[in-house]
Amino acid sequence: MKSGIYFLTVGKTTDKKEREDRYKTTNANITFDYLKEVKPNFLTKAEGELLEYLKKYYKLWKTSTEQFEIGTKIEDVQKAEKILLEVMNKVKTKSNDVKDITYEYGTLDGTKDIRDDRKPCTYIPGEVAMIVTRAGVFAKGKRYSKERSRFYLTKYQKKGRRLLKLQQEQRVPVSNYAWDIIQVVKANEREKQKQQEEFEKKHGKKNAV
């Protein structure tokens, strides 16, 4: 509560205590009462879905991206709690299981889900790297093989709004959506190069523009 107004604060975290301590430096009354465990690769997407659901009921506080103004009465808080529980049940926490695909495999530390091993997409938040082999864990001869992801070799990386040139090329994981965009951009560049070569062949390189 702040200035007679109750707020609903939501967001993702991998450390509940650290997040709560950070918020309490500006608002000592804040508490985090509702938590929902989400697979690591779905954390960003789940947060986005939760925010979109809540925007249907409440408006964001000023310029905040995760604080909603819910009212001035305790009844408003009770209503918000009910809505929050409803929308949290709708939030997706992992990818859907597909029939005949084995996702779990044994390790010395117990059983793990191979989907948790998938790398996040470098360029699109909330997306994971696309699979370029058979999905899941599968038998191959006398041993088990695991899926492989799509990587893209790049000389540049985005940092905020800046484009940085790397000292060495790096292979970064990319999602299906990012790979589609990369293919379109590369095709356009090939077409431009082809047109440039045809122009130079016809008019001479010195007149090329």
For the record, the structure tokens of 40 come out as: 């690591």
202 is a domain residue: no
Supply the DSSP symbol for 150.
-
The tens place of each residue's pLDDT in the chain, 209 residues long, gives 455 788 888 888 877 778 778 777 777 777 777 777 777 777 778 888 888 889 999 999 888 888 899 999 989 988 998 888 888 877 766 677 778 888 888 888 888 888 888 888 999 888 889 988 888 887 665 566 778 899 999 999 888 888 899 999 999 999 999 999 999 999 999 999 999 888 888 887 654 44
Residue 122 belongs to a domain:
yes
Q: Do 120 and 73 share a structural domain?
A: no
Same domain, 116 and 86: no
Domain contains 208: no
Domain count, the chain: 2
154 and 129 inside one domain: yes
Q: At what angle do helices 74-90 and 43-55 cross, to 10 degrees?
A: 130
Q: Are residues 10 and 75 in the same domain?
A: yes
Q: Could you tell me if 115 and 49 lie in one domain?
A: no
Q: At 120, list the tokens.
A: 């996040």
Q: Which of 56, 90, 124 is the last residue of a domain?
A: 90
Residue-number span of the structural domain to which 10 is assigned: 6-90
- Does some domain include residue 27? yes
Assess if residue 201 is contained within a domain: no
Query: What does the alpha-carbon distance between residue 152 and residue 181 come to, in Å, rounded to a whole number?
Result: 12
